[in-house]
Amino acid sequence: MKNYLNHDEWCIIEEGFHADWNEITESIMSLGNGRMGQRGNFEEGYSGKTLPGNYVAGVYFPDKTRVGWWKNGYPNYFAKVINAANWIGIQIELEDEKLDLANCHVHEFRRTLNMKEGWLSRSFVAMLPSGKQVGVTAKRFCSLTHDEGGVIRYCIKPLNFDGKLTIMPYIDGTISNRDSNYDQKFWQEIHRETGFAEGYLHLTTVPNEYGVPQFQVVTGQKFALYKDGASFPFQALPVKQEGFVSSRIQLDVIAGEEIALIKYACNLSDQNHAREDLLAHAKTYLATMAEKGYEQLLREQIEAWAQKWQQMDIVIEGDVAAQQAIRFNLFQLSQTYTGEDDRLNIGPKGFTGEKYGGVTYWDTEAYCIPFYLSTAEPKVARNLLIYRWKQLGKAIENAEKLGFTGGAALYPMVTMNGEECHNEWEITFEEIHRNGAIAYAIYDYIRYTGDTAYLGEYGFEVLLGIARFWSQRITWSDERQQFVMLGVTGPNEYENNVNNNWYTNYIARWCLQYTLEVADQLKNTEAERYATLSQQLQLNEEAEFGRFQAIIDQLYLPESKELGVFLQQDSYLDKEQILVTDLRPEDRPLNQKWSWDRILRSPFIKQADVLQGLYFFEDEFEEATIRQNYDYYEPRTVHESSLSPCVHAILASRLGMDDKAYEMYLRTSRLDLDDYNNDTEDGLHITSMAGTWMSVVKGFGGLRVKDGQLHLSPRCPQQWQSYSFIIRFRDNILDVHVRPDGTEIENIAGDELTVWVHGENRSIPAAIVEAPEEE
């Protein structure tokens, strides 16, 4: 736990430079716009502790995966999120000295991430080894309105000397990943050119062995200079260097004079443009940006962010730390994924670090979709569903590699393009519950939006592939005279290769049921489409649906009648029955202190497992059952996954356990800001941020959708005076304000509607202002 950042409702502020924690601050102060993003690195470079990171959405390298001993069926490669060309670079020299904060006395340092307006600023006074002092103020943003571009205003003022100032705005393609094997470089130059006050670097990822197309990106820069606010003539000499584009500008400056550099940059990828047009496009793109100019782009940025906040903001009164935390979570999520592009997804580190391969985990379906459903237009969640629909073919191939047939689909645990790229057998091959979450997300989307047309268009194909997988993966046990599911890893990754994981069995059965229901529904409402699909998918209704039904009827679900709980897996009760409170502080976190085998045979649970099922399917259980399972499992759960506390927070709220809910909320919301797990320097925990949102809206707010209507059961944590959240529900946008003594709901957009509050229906009058037009 660290606590060096100022608490503020809208900003993250570092006052005074914390060099030792710079990599943490860089993670926290990351900027993005859905298409590109970078960490809070210094424009002028820095020879101290820093993890340089610039990322272009969808661009990766299929790196070798190495394991001690290869298992048959392992994926060939690990999809590495690669560091792309550094576009923020502005080298500064004062006479012969390079400005590098690692070698300066730094004072008046302040770094601010303004979440309301979507920019990062930095100001400081630096004394160089020679004694020269300069003042610098820099501000930059990744533009939401020009989402392949970013802008920097970098102002430098000599404070105690006259002399030569050299400014070299640059693009550096010679970067590498920190986690590369043998410092492998992933980029090579195709072309570079430098014009007056502009330059372009055309890079391609290096060839790979796995048939993955190479990516091409053109990174460009265009800049203007101002002296005390006015433009002036200057010379810019091109710098010739492989993989590097820069112009060198030498100025004679006098003390007190401010030189401002405005740098426009862009990253155009061949995922969005024809390769042959990349360069020309980049030139046009930057010309457009430069024409608008810095101030106009900044105004657009502030406006775009205001619109975003209008749709998702959560206001907490009486707790600045909590207020800052929830906004930080919302801000970072929104920077990572905008829902504009159905080929993209939400990487667990977003644009904030290079750890973890791939960008798509089951986090998206289980944690992020509810957030986007309530805070963005339906197309955002829909695009996330379509992303999986597009990868259905790969999911079928993936299942075939493991011996499944006839269109059975196993979605990957980790992927970029639909291919599995994780290589631990206990995860890749066995953590198959992910397939369930992907089906559940379809259900969740339709329940929330009412968009049943999605089923005939896309949903049923995915559901059938998933159901087919379960029907083959589940086998008959002569011994039990029931169907069983052997050799799985549940959401609790602290148990591997177990039999009959309750959660996996339950969601598998649910998938089969839901698939049959959807088939029935389509038959009744879209008979023709259903007939086409049946034929296309070579569906043998009698045999396949018969098997589905047999499994639904006879699937084994482990439970202990004596304890009144569902059993996480067959052998859970064979474990030593000790609790988290029995652990010594020096044993925590288990995943850093205990060997893997010890963790595996301990009763300790990494994250919600049985409880994840009770969260998903709460309507199918009595409250007493949920309570009994919560009371049994929570004391055995170490919450060592960032995805754990939010589910517990929601259930605790549901059960009226307010203190527990608040405790869990705290664990999730300031995880990165306070570097709770000592790993924020690697990047932020992006997907679990959606869980933070859930713990407020579904937890404290008690949001549910039943029979097409909105239900709330708001509870106000005693630590807060009040809180409010914005949610979009079908044609309405609502502002829900919760106080200890009651809940107000205001219609911001849309007609009158009925909302159920604590089980009582309430009519919310139509919005007074007009709803913003849909895009």
CB 618 within 8 A of CB 610: no
Q: Is 363 annotated among the ligand-binding residues? A: yes
Q: Which is nearer to its own copies, 320 or 578 (CB)?
A: 578
Nearer Cβ to its own copies (68/131): 68
* Signed CA dihedral, 364, 365, 369, 371: sign only: negative
Beta strands in 318-468 (DSSP E): none
For residue 86, report the phi and psi dihedrals to the nearest 5 degrees.
-75, 115
- Quote the least distance from Cβ 580 to its own copies, whole Å: 17
CB nearer to its own copies: give 198 or 682: 682
Per rule CB under 8 A, is residue 178 in the interface with its own copies?
Answer: no
Helix, coil or strand: residue 89:
coil
Is 493 a residue of the active site?
yes
Whole-angstrom distance, CA of residue 472 vs CA of residue 404 = 7
Nearest distance in Å: CB 77, its own copies: 11
CB 17 within 8 A of CB 124: yes
Q: Does 606 count as an annotated binding residue?
A: yes
Nearer to its own copies, 401 or 523 (CB): 401
Nearest distance, CB of residue 63 and its own copies, angstroms: 11
Helix count (H) and strand count (E) of the chain?
A: 21, 32
430 makes contact with its own copies (CB under 8 A): yes
Name 392's Cβ contacts closer than 8 Å, sequence gap at least 6: 409, 461, 462, 465
Of the ranges 3-11, 337-345, 448-456, 572-580, which one interacts with its own copies (CB under 8 A)? 572-580
User: How distant is the alpha carbon of residue 52 from its chain centre?
Assistant: 19
Q: How far is the CB of 685 from its own copies (least distance, A)?
A: 17
Minimum CB distance to its own copies smaller for 150 or for 412: 412
Contact call for residue 586 and its own copies (CB under 8 A)? no
Candidate residues 302, 315, 402, 552; the one interacting with its own copies per rule CB under 8 A: 402
Can residue 759 be called a binding residue for its own copies (CB under 8 A)?
no
Q: Is 497 in the site for its own copies (CB under 8 A)?
A: yes
Among 2, 107, 178, 598, binds its own copies (CB under 8 A): 598
Mask for 68-87, x = binds its own copies (CB under 8 A) = xx-xxxx---x---------
Which CB sits closer to its own copies, 525 or 577?
577
**CA separation, residue 357 to residues 63, 329, 346 (Å):** 9, 22, 12
Q: Does 579 bind its own copies (CB under 8 A)?
A: no
The answer to whether 538 contacts its own copies (rule: CB under 8 A) is: no
How many residues touch its own copies under the rule CB under 8 A: the total is 54
| 264, containing H or E segment | strand 259-269
Question: Which one of the spans 237-245, 424-432, 513-521, 690-698 is the region binding its own copies (CB under 8 A)?
Answer: 424-432
Contact window for its own copies (CB under 8 A) among 83-91, 229-237, 400-408, 735-743: 400-408
To its own copies, the closest distance from the beta carbon of 333 in angstroms equals: 25
Residue 386 tokens read as: 């379509």
User: Of 22, 336, 423, 669, which one interacts with its own copies (CB under 8 A)?
Assistant: 423
Phi, psi of 406 (to 5 degrees): 60, 35
Residue 711 contacts its own copies per CB under 8 A: no
Which residue among 7, 49, 529, 593 contacts its own copies (CB under 8 A)?
Answer: 593
Helix/strand/coil for 386: helix
Q: Site for its own copies (CB under 8 A): which residue of 575, 660, 711, 737?
A: 575
- Of residues 457-496, those binding its own copies (CB under 8 A): 475-480, 484, 486-487, 496
- The two tokens of residue 700 are 């404290």
Task: Name which position in 170, 305, 425, 440 contacts its own copies (CB under 8 A).
Answer: 425
Q: Give the residue, chosen from 161, 226, 594, 617, that forms a contact with its own copies under the rule CB under 8 A.
A: 594
Q: Which stretch binds its own copies (CB under 8 A): 8-16, 332-340, 593-601, 618-626?
A: 593-601
Q: Which of 154, 264, 429, 545 binds its own copies (CB under 8 A)?
A: 429
CA distance 59 to 204: 10
> Least CB distance from residue 427 to its own copies, whole Å?
8
Min dist. Cβ of residue 469 to its own copies (A): 12
Nearer Cβ to its own copies, position 106 or 486?
Answer: 486
The first and second tokens of residue 338, run together, are 């905008």
**447-477: b or e for each residue (b if 16 or more CB lie within 10 Å)?**
ebbebeebbbebbbbbbbbbbbbbbbbbeee
Q: Which stretch binds its own copies (CB under 8 A): 240-248, 514-522, 589-597, 640-648?
A: 589-597
| Residue 473: CA count within 13 A, CB half-sphere | 32
Backbone angles phi, psi at 238, to 5 degrees: -65, 140
- Residue 232 binds to its own copies (criterion: CB under 8 A): no
401 binds its own copies per the rule CB under 8 A: yes
**Min CB(630)–its own copies separation in Å:** 21
Beta strands 133-142; 119-127: pairing state: antiparallel
- The answer to whether residues 287 and 176 touch, using CB atoms and an 8 Å cutoff, is no
Our finding on whether 208 is near its own copies (CB under 8 A) is: no
**Which residues 6+ apart lie within 8 Å of 711 measured at CB?**
702, 703, 704, 705, 755, 756, 757, 759
Cis omega before residue 603 (within 30°)?
A: no
| Nearest CB to its own copies, comparing residues 594 and 621 | 594
Q: In angstroms, give the least distance from the CB of 647 to its own copies.
A: 23
Out of 102, 537, 552, 600, which residue is the one contacting its own copies (CB under 8 A)? 600
Give the residue carrying structure tokens 């930059």: 140
Closer CB to its own copies, residue 497 or residue 722?
497
Select the span of 92-100, 318-326, 401-409, 660-668 touching its own copies (CB under 8 A).
401-409
Nearer to its own copies, 207 or 759 (CB): 207
What's the residue count for the chain? 775
DSSP string spanning 131-152?
S-EEEEEEEEEE-SSSTTEEEE
CB of 612 to its own copies, least distance (A): 21
Least distance (Å) between residue 401 CB and its own copies: 6
First to last CA, the chain: 42
Q: Are strands 149-158 and 163-172 parallel, antiparallel or unpaired?
A: unpaired
Return the percent helix, strand and coil in the chain, to nearest 5: 35, 25, 40
- Is residue 163 helix, strand or coil? strand
DSSP readout, 475-538? EEETTTTEEE--SB--S-TTS-SBS--HHHHHHHHHHHHHHHHHHHHHHHH-HHHHHHHHHHTT
Catalytic residue among 431, 493, 544, 634: 493
Output the smallest distance, CB 53 to its own copies, in A.
Answer: 21
The residue among 242 and 597 lying less far from its own copies, judged by its C-beta, is: 597
Query: Is residue 403 part of the contact set for its own copies (CB under 8 A)?
Result: yes
Nearer to its own copies, 2 or 64 (CB): 64
Interface residue with its own copies, options 481, 536, 538, 595 (CB under 8 A): 595
Convert 545-564 to b/e letters by CB count within 10 Å (16 or more is b): bebbeebbeebbebeeeeee
Asked if residue 67 binds its own copies (CB under 8 A), the reply is: yes
Q: Does residue 247 contact residue 194 with C-beta atoms inside 8 Å? A: yes
Binding-site positions read 362-363, 606-607
**Residue ranges in contact with its own copies by CB under 8 A:** 65-69, 71-74, 78, 181-182, 401-403, 422-427, 429-430, 475-480, 484, 486-487, 496-499, 570-571, 573-577, 591-601
Show binding-site residues for substrate.
362-363, 606-607
**What residues are labeled active site?**
493
